[in-house]
Amino acid sequence: MPVAKNTKELQGAAPLKLDLMSSPKSTKKLQNKDSSVLDARSSEPMDLEKTQGITGFQTLVHLVKGNMGTGILGLPLAVKNAGILMGPLSLLVMGFIACHCMHILVRCARHFCHRLNKPFMDYGDTVMHGLEASPNTWLQTHAHWGRHMVSFFLIITQLGFCCVYIVFLADNLKQVVEAVNGTTNNCYNNETVIPTPTMDSRLYMLAFLPLLVLLVLIRNLRILTIFSMLANISMLVSLIIIAQYIAQGIPDPSQLPLVASWKTYPLFFGTAIFSFESIGVVLPLENKMKDARRFPAILSLGMSIITALYISIGALGYLRFGDDIKASITLNLPNCWLYQSVKLLYIIGILCTYALQFYVPVEIIIPFAVSRVSKRWTLPVDLSIRLALVCLTCILAILIPRLDLVLSLVGSVSSSALALIIPPMLEITTYYSEGMSPLTIAKDALISIMGFVGFLVGTYQALDELIKSEDSLAFSNSTIFIL
């Protein structure tokens, strides 16, 4: 499947290969970076192209934003389901494994770039070439299935998250508006507030649609950095406000169990594993960097920041509220303007995050579509697809009842496959013929098994909630189990 190609200077052995070729090839960047294609006959200097890439800091901003969703708000409850000791330790291990799988994906992509003399490779192409390199004949002949499977999972997962974001935006704004008459400046007198009924949440979703359309029309990843930075700042400020409140008056933690019941641990796993969900943006970010040699270090730094934030919010939230912790930690905050601003800041953050999550599926769909039309129809087709997809996510959010649980089911299948199951298997198929130690094979098999367990747990949890007809879980707060 064709993909949008934004070329960058090859690193390591690749430049040497180009120098040794009898007819050296260079690349040419079209005026629109995100609609560019590889032109092997161009003689335009590579130095001009390098100036078009994103910097290491911009890459870090996008990477952190790719992980910072609504999932962090549900981690205190997740820690409760695991225990005050087991929860943070499990988050640390899961963060390390998620980061390791991302490194595996990047390493395998670079391996095939150097072998096939290509400037970059996306997730689907990497899996396809990995299957072609496997010793199994059947996998070799059906390697293209791997590319289509990854592309399908990426599209479903990312558009699913976009739908959930619309639900999150509408419901949180609705909560703030309905409680505005009872919101005070006194944050120390947390009285029960009776909401004032307003318009249906579906009308709030429609109200956000024009803003979302404007955001998805941005076709340059460098420009999206501004929105990612805004999202990171708004979410960071809101998390600081939450942290300063939950750090006050933490009761004696000796009453909290170090390890919770094994029956509730699957609930922790199902919530936490989808909080580490940015593998879909890893290769697009690496492909857009000016100097891709710095990406592994930036990836490790970004995932370390995310893991530290997850552990801090999860552990402190459970320590502060204990068994009274709710599905979203924002529900435990006093009803004053300072803490209502947390929801408003998260609305800004999620609104900006929508554009970054939307970027991944359009990078798959649009190049495939524009390759089948003449050049003069490229821009109209590009813009039409963007408009159609954003309207589709809004329509699904409005029409499908309990959309959060339906998408949780889809996310349990596709996200587990993309983040935990496929990367370790990809490493085996890529390097098995070149010799792998039994310890590495065992490690990869163990990670894939854990991912498969996550798939089973998440699927069971989503199906169980779909079957139930109770409204015990608020619609706006159930989205935290998806990311």
Q: What is the residue-wise DSSP string for 201-214?
A: HHHHHHHHHHHHHH
Tokens 């983040």, located at residue: 419
- Judged by DSSP in three states, 9 sits in coil
- Let me know: does 414 contact 153? Beta carbons within 8 Å: yes
Q: Which of 69, 483, 65, 60 is nearest to 302 (CA)?
A: 60
Task: Round to whole Å and give the CA distance between 446 and 93.
Answer: 13
Q: What is the pLDDT along the chain (483 residues), one digit of tens a residue?
A: 444 444 333 333 333 333 333 333 333 333 333 333 333 333 333 333 344 678 888 888 878 877 777 678 778 888 988 899 999 999 999 899 989 999 999 999 999 999 998 888 888 889 999 999 888 889 889 899 998 998 888 888 888 888 878 887 887 788 788 777 666 666 665 555 555 666 777 888 999 999 999 888 887 777 777 877 788 788 888 888 888 888 887 888 888 888 888 777 877 877 777 677 677 778 888 888 888 888 999 999 999 999 998 998 899 889 988 888 876 787 777 777 788 888 888 888 888 888 877 887 888 898 888 888 888 888 888 889 999 999 999 998 887 756 556 656 666 777 778 888 999 999 999 998 888 899 999 999 999 998 888 788 777 776 776 677 444 444 444 433 333
Task: Round to whole Å and give the CA distance between 42 and 29.
Answer: 9
Tokens 């370390």, located at residue: 304
Cα angle 329, 332, 334 (rounded to 5 degrees) comes to 130
Q: What is the pLDDT of residue 430?
A: 92
Q: What is the pLDDT of residue 185?
A: 65
* Dihedral angle sign, alpha carbons of residues 294, 298, 299, 300: positive
Q: What is the pLDDT of residue 477?
A: 40
Every domain of the chain and the residues it spans: 13-481
Tokens 């996200």, located at residue: 415
Q: How far apart are the first and last CA of the chain?
A: 27
Q: CA distances (Å), 220 to each of 13, 119, 215, 280, in order?
A: 29, 19, 11, 17
Q: What is the pLDDT of residue 249?
A: 76
Task: Round to whole Å and give the CA distance between 350 and 480.
Answer: 12
Class of domain 13-481: mainly alpha
- In eight-state DSSP terms, residue 6 is -
Q: Tell me, letter by letter, the H, E, C secondary structure of 246-305.
A: HCCCCCCHHHCCCCCCCCCHHHHHHHHHCCCCCHHHHHHHHHHECCHHHHHHHHHHHHHH
Q: What is the pLDDT of residue 476?
A: 40
Q: What is the residue-wise DSSP string for 105-144?
A: HHHHHHHHHHHHT-S---HHHHHHHHHHTSS-HHHHHTHH
- Judged by DSSP in three states, 406 sits in helix
Q: What is the pLDDT of residue 404?
A: 55
